[in-house]
Amino acid sequence: MKLKKIASLLSRNKCLIIFTSEEGEQWLSDGAAMYSISGMPHMTPDIVLRIFDVPPDKQAKWHTRESEMPTAIDFADTIDDEQIIEPLSISVEYRGESFLLFPDGRNIYSFNREYLKPLLDKPDYLSFYKRKTENGGFVLALKVGLELKAVIMPKTLHETEEYTKTIKQIADLYKSMSRDRVVNAASEVFSAVQDVIRNMNPETGEVIDDESQE
């Protein structure tokens, strides 16, 4: 886990939330992703901003707060009903951001690829899990080995009219291309059959090749 990478993500919106569990474990968040800083000394917003190299005269521009851990998500390293999942082989670039797509039944959830960067120092040990929330939602739990290191909330791209319209246009174009290929293939088969018929002896049914006609 790289703190500088977390700092880069949180500085985009200048938002820092420090969640602390009853056991004293702390997580850093910008409201869309949470990162465990287990094993580090107890942090306060002032300490974190200093670690992030935020100059004192710019710290006032940050929105900071401390809070108890969210109760809607289970932050144990392993829970009974979590499921390991893999992203689709394609990702989506939308408004300058890259999103990984994770299928879940008839739904597809989008997660900002940027939020993976703090954990990419150990990519071979990184795995993704679907973890349900109390309200039936779905968050992406990221583990390094068996330890939960981050939780990312989905981005509701499907609720954006521009996004869904563009995806539909792409899907319609692919369908049209597929239909064109089928029509072209059928036309080629038909032409080949006509060639055979033209070269067929009407009495014997034998196909006459070019050499036999000479």
Query: Within this chain, do residues 153 and 166 fall inside the same structural domain, yes or no?
Result: no
Query: Within this chain, do residues 121 and 147 fall inside the same structural domain, yes or no?
Result: yes
- pLDDT tens for residues 96-130? 888 888 887 777 888 999 999 999 877 788 999 99
Strand-strand pairing, 63-68 and 15-20: parallel
Query: Within this chain, do residues 175 and 114 fall inside the same structural domain, yes or no?
Result: no
Query: Within this chain, do residues 150 and 166 fall inside the same structural domain, yes or no?
Result: no
Q: Find all residues with CB under 8 Å of 194, minimum gap 6, and list them.
A: none
Query: Within this chain, do residues 154 and 92 fall inside the same structural domain, yes or no?
Result: yes
Query: Within this chain, do residues 95 and 141 fall inside the same structural domain, yes or no?
Result: yes
d(CA 14, CA 11) in angstroms, rounded, equals 4
Q: What is the mean pLDDT of residues 185-190?
A: 51
The parent domain of residue 49 ranges over 3-68
Query: Within this chain, do residues 150 and 170 fall inside the same structural domain, yes or no?
Result: no
Query: Within this chain, do residues 91 and 149 fall inside the same structural domain, yes or no?
Result: yes
Q: How many CB atoms lie within 10 A of CB 75?
A: 18
Query: Within this chain, do residues 99 and 148 fall inside the same structural domain, yes or no?
Result: yes
Please check whether residue 73 lies inside any domain of the structure: no
Query: Within this chain, do residues 88 and 152 fall inside the same structural domain, yes or no?
Result: yes
The SS3 of residue 164 is helix
Please check whether residue 77 lies inside any domain of the structure: no
Q: What is the mean pLDDT of residues 177-184?
A: 58
Please check whether residue 126 lies inside any domain of the structure: yes
- pLDDT tens for residues 60-81? 999 999 999 999 899 999 999 8
- Picking from 137, 159, 181, the residue at the C-terminal end of a domain is 159
Query: Within this chain, do residues 129 and 144 fall inside the same structural domain, yes or no?
Result: yes
Q: Which residue has the higher pLDDT, 132 or 150?
A: 150
**The total number of structural domains that make up the chain:** 3
The SS3 of residue 90 is coil
Query: Within this chain, do residues 179 and 152 fall inside the same structural domain, yes or no?
Result: no
- pLDDT confidence tier of residue 190, bands split at 50, 70 and 90: very low
Question: Does the model's pTM come out above 0.85?
Answer: no
- Picking from 68, 103, 125, the residue at the C-terminal end of a domain is 68
Q: Which residue has the higher pLDDT, 52 or 197?
A: 52
pLDDT at 189: 47
Helices (H), 41-156: 45-51
